[in-house]
Amino acid sequence: MKAFLVITSLLILIFDGVLFFTPDKTGDINFVFNLAYSLIFILGSVIAITKLKKYPQDTNMKSSLVFYALGLIFYALGLFVWTYYNLVLRSPIPYPSLADVAFLLYYPGVILGTFFLVNSFGGKFTPKLIVEGSLTFLVFFAILYFFLNQTSMNSGVSFGANFLNILYPLFDAFLTALAITILRTEKGIADHPNILYFVFSFIILAVADTVFSYRSANNLYWNGDISDLLFAVSGFLTAWGVLSL
């Protein structure tokens, strides 16, 4: 499974490299890219499900794997819906759309997956860590909101897009703060360095959402651009993190 995930990811990376040199950014070959990199999220979900049998007595780890599997499959579903809008409805940037419902469901999946993962490791969220995590969340969200407010939230963007341009950073800030807080638990990175895969995945996801919001608001986005590449990298790191458990 490890080799399959690596090979698939490398092929998608090559595919994306080709798109950067393709003059027409609205052709079907671009629209297929999001469908292609959904394979990374599907593989991550399959990996999580196949690992369930390895933890017959650890209910926290089993719950973690189930939620990671659900989050990853919801993200893949979002990419399927996005591709449907592209290829069938001929909408190059379906934002906001029903695809966002599935994308947003990714967050509860990985948040709960991470929470149960910490419980499985024996980590504890002390009052001090909760305060630090809350401050990290507020600072991170403020930075994202300030940037998007200056570049992506304006009267020329629909209410739905502006709403999502707030909601995605909110989830991203919470997810990143959670991951960073985990590193500071007594059972954090010292005992489980593979947590770093999830930390970097969540940080890259926040960057990807921010880049996408900026580029879509300014009519710069195209399927397979830098934001989609970052989404794919984030998915790979989450899948790799699950694989490393």
Which pLDDT tens digits describe the chain residue by residue (245 residues)? 889 999 999 999 999 999 999 999 989 999 999 999 999 999 999 999 999 988 888 899 999 999 999 999 999 999 999 999 999 999 999 999 999 999 999 999 999 998 898 888 877 777 888 888 899 899 989 888 887 777 666 656 677 888 888 899 899 999 888 878 877 765 555 667 788 899 899 999 999 998 998 898 888 999 999 999 999 999 999 999 999 98
**What is the reported pLDDT for 127?**
84
Residue that is written with structure tokens 């909408």 in the block: 91
Burial of 129: CB neighbours in 10 Å, binned 0-12, 13-18, 19+:
middle
The answer to whether the predicted template modeling score (pTM) of the entire model surpasses 0.95 is no
Q: Which residues contact 158 (CB under 8 A, 6 or more apart)?
A: 96
- Please report which residue ranges of 27-125 form alpha helices under DSSP H: 28-50, 59-87, 98-121
φ, ψ for residue 227, nearest 5 deg: -65, -40
How many angstroms separate the CA atoms of 50 and 25, rounded?
38
**What is the reported pLDDT for 57?**
84
Region of 158 on the Ramachandran plot (φ > 0 left; ψ -120 to 50 alpha; else beta): beta
**What is the reported pLDDT for 186?**
55
Q: Are 229 and 38 in contact (CB under 8 A)?
A: no
**What is the reported pLDDT for 240?**
96
CA angle 11, 17, 22 (to 5 degrees): 125
